[in-house]
Structure 1
Amino acid sequence: MDPALLLHHYPTSPFSEKARLILGYKQLAWSSVHVPAVMPKPDVVALTGGYRRTPFLQVGADIYCDTALIADVLEHVQPEPTLYPAHLKGVSRVVAQWADSTLFWASMTYSINPKTAPTLFPDEATAQAFLADRKAMRANMTQLRPQDATSAYRSYLRRVAHMADEHDFLFGAEPCIADFAVYHPLWFTQIRTPAAAGILQATPSLVEWMERMAAIGHGTAAPLTSADAIEVAARAEPMPPGGNLLVDSAFQDDHGIALGSQISITPESFGTESTQGELIAATRTHYSLRRTDPRAGTVHVHFPRIGYVLRKVEAA
């Protein structure tokens, strides 16, 4: 199986680095579509219908949101080397979920500060636009204070270092999904905010593990414009439910919302813009909806079940 994989991302996005490294680990070729770091994002919304977090993966007229779901798709596209070794399926996903949330926010709150701003932003106007954009995305979140985030981040780094003391990777001789999820917020501290990277030096085994992760690389990427990506969607037909790149297809109804209903799907916390459309799948692991855009045509947009809220849209 060799579908055309289009990753919509921007170079300094930590979650994008997670996806890029997974593509590299799988030795996959992919198209690199750069998106803006802040709103407005008209080409993004044309494909996702409202979801604005970065990155997302496009395969024809199918749009896969959230790196947790993207990882599952890439595992299906290229099963080896696996992200989910049989003996680690549970613990690796639990650690990845912790890293994508608790560890990530400790890292971001620690790393983005007045000392690191000059390396993050070319000018004050860009800095203020970014900070205002992210503040709006955190409207429903309680954020750590910088002092508390620093203390927590130090503790988390020591705990991860204990794992790296024992193996080349966190759970053994090969990386798993936990490695990619833990790596990307640390990558942001090390690469994007070098003025804050001294916090990593207290854990040498962790730095060595990061070097091994970075050596995986990003696979083979070719640039593609967002306009061309929209044209790809417009020319394609979305894959049928149960026949796409998501493995499970059995309907699991926890909401009393029937397939075919008009629904909205919204992230639980960060970036709470909704995507609306027709519910075409609600399985153990994911939701899928069908929507139509004037430029992109009919697309299927997919979300992981964990971390997202499904609601029925009542007729006006």
Structure 2
Amino acid sequence: MTDLILHHYPESPFSEKVRLILGYKKLAWNSVHVPRIQPKPDVVALTGGYRRTPFLQVGADVYCDTALICDVLEHVQPEPPIYPPHIKGVARIFAQWADTTLFWTAMTYNIQPKSAAAMFPSEAVAQAFMADRKAMRSNMTQLRAADATSAYRSYLRRIAHMADEHDFLFGAEPCVADFATYHALWYTRHRAPVMADILQATPSLLEWMDRMAALGEGRPEVFSSADAITVAQKAEPMPAGQNLLVDSAFQDDHGIPLGSEVTITAESFGTESTVGTLVAATRTHYSLSRTDPRAGAVHVHFPRIGYVLRKADPA
């Protein structure tokens, strides 16, 4: 088994989601810190354009989006499961809501003028971060802070009702819904603490957050981005159907055959495209083959949900 390499940075909420799953599954992993904003040359060398954080590298295979990373980690270490069979469907649907609606509501609440001073070392750093994220929010409707605050309060109460009943949201053990819900609230509590009073009205939710934090982050080892690129350059991508994604049957919903030159782009946030040769299009994911001057031949994998597949423009 090739080592897991997580490309992330400490303040990234979606990275915290993955770090806790690594902890829950007690996995060893290599930790590569990436820049919070552009430029990200070492990231692009591996992904071909995708720059959202985090992504997971295994040899010369790059897995984008935490929804797909969750599937990979479940395949690598099935026990304990994050998709328990009896709640697999509802847990996935809840996680998708938490990663989208809940996340963007929470982050609009979290990042306000009174919290920025505590979150960033200087006004210049804050402005650069905000400009970078504004550029990534293509095709997105931005909530107003007051509306986000109202919605966040309601969502917290509703989630707290679930935490009132169980140690975790759907029972005695955590599932993917817990990890997807936790990271936005973690940002409020730990990265925007001047905004964290909103959590005090839901003490059962704070107790649940303590149980989640106690899962830890597995066994990380510091790794450099240059070393990660070397790992990719020296490895060969796993053949389609034999990688860490369980499904392999071709599902053609676009009339684009395998072997075509294509682009894959996020539907909304972070719409930089990755260009490559389509080597897999299954019911759950797309895989592109591409070559980088430094990283060599790599396969870059994306979930179907949330991403747009198109034929590449002819040269």
1:11 aligns with 2:10: yes
Which residue does 1:212 correspond to in 2? Answer: 211
- Aligned ranges 1:49-60 → 2 under 5 Å: 49-60=48-59
Which residue does 1:73 correspond to in 2? Answer: 72
Measure, in 2, the Cα distance between the counterparts of 1:149 and 1:28: 36
What is the one-letter code of the residue matched to 1:138?
R
Measure, in 2, the Cα distance between the counterparts of 1:314 and 1:139: 21
Which residue does 2:32 correspond to in 1? Answer: 33
Alpha-carbon offset, residue 171 of structure 1: 0.4
Report the secondary structure of 2:30's partner residue: strand
What are structure 2's unaligned runs of at least 5 residues? Answer: none
> What CA deviation, in whole Å up to 9, does each residue of 1:207-241 have, x standing for no partner?
00000000000000000110110000000000000
> What CA deviation, in whole Å up to 9, does each residue of 1:142-173 have, x standing for no partner?
01100100000000000000000000000000
Which residue does 1:137 correspond to in 2? Answer: 136
Report the secondary structure of 1:159's partner residue: helix
Which residue does 1:295 correspond to in 2? Answer: 294
Which residue does 2:304 correspond to in 1? Answer: 305
What is the one-letter code of the residue matched to 1:242?
G
Measure, in 1, the Cα distance between the counterparts of 2:312 and 2:232: 25
1:115 aligns with 2:140: no
Report the secondary structure of 2:113's partner residue: coil
Alpha-carbon offset, residue 3 of structure 1: 2.9
Measure, in 2, the Cα distance between the counterparts of 1:211 and 1:179: 12
What is the one-letter code of the residue matched to 1:110?
Y
Measure, in 2, the Cα distance between the counterparts of 1:293 and 1:281: 19
1:168 aligns with 2:155: no
Report the secondary structure of 2:217's partner residue: coil
Alpha-carbon offset, residue 314 of structure 1: 3.2
Measure, in 2, the Cα distance between the counterparts of 1:117 and 1:260: 47
Measure, in 2, the Cα distance between the counterparts of 1:290 and 1:305: 16
- Aligned ranges 1:235-274 → 2 under 5 Å: 235-274=234-273
Measure, in 2, the Cα distance between the counterparts of 1:101 and 1:115: 24
Which residue does 2:274 correspond to in 1? Answer: 275
What is the one-letter code of the residue matched to 2:206?
V
Alpha-carbon offset, residue 114 of structure 1: 1.1
RMSD over equivalenced CA pairs, Å: 0.5
Alpha-carbon offset, residue 315 of structure 1: 1.8
TM-score with structure 1 setting the length: 0.99
Alpha-carbon offset, residue 139 of structure 1: 2.2
Which residue does 1:151 correspond to in 2? Answer: 150
Report the secondary structure of 1:46's partner residue: helix
Report the secondary structure of 1:74's partner residue: helix
What is the one-letter code of the residue matched to 1:125?
A
Measure, in 1, the Cα distance between the counterparts of 2:69 and 2:312: 26
Measure, in 2, the Cα distance between the counterparts of 1:315 and 1:68: 31
Measure, in 1, the Cα distance between the counterparts of 2:128 and 2:194: 22
> What CA deviation, in whole Å up to 9, does each residue of 1:113-162 have, x standing for no partner?
11111221000110000000000001210011001000000000000000
Which residue does 1:61 correspond to in 2? Answer: 60
TM-score with structure 2 setting the length: 0.99
What is the one-letter code of the residue matched to 1:244?
N
Alpha-carbon offset, residue 43 of structure 1: 0.2
Measure, in 2, the Cα distance between the counterparts of 1:59 and 1:181: 22
Measure, in 2, the Cα distance between the counterparts of 1:104 and 1:215: 22
Which residue does 2:20 correspond to in 1? Answer: 21
> Kindly, what percent of the aligned residue pairs are identical?
77
What is the one-letter code of the residue matched to 2:136?
M
What is the one-letter code of the residue matched to 2:216?
G
Which residue does 1:127 correspond to in 2? Answer: 126
Report the secondary structure of 2:180's partner residue: helix
Measure, in 2, the Cα distance between the counterparts of 1:289 and 1:7: 19
1:106 aligns with 2:105: yes
- Aligned ranges 1:166-205 → 2 under 5 Å: 166-205=165-204
Report the secondary structure of 2:279's partner residue: strand
Report the secondary structure of 1:8's partner residue: strand
What is the one-letter code of the residue matched to 2:283?
R
Report the secondary structure of 1:115's partner residue: helix
What are structure 1's unaligned runs of at least 5 residues? Answer: none
Measure, in 1, the Cα distance between the counterparts of 2:312 and 2:190: 43
Which residue does 1:226 correspond to in 2? Answer: 225
How many equivalent residue pairs? Answer: 315
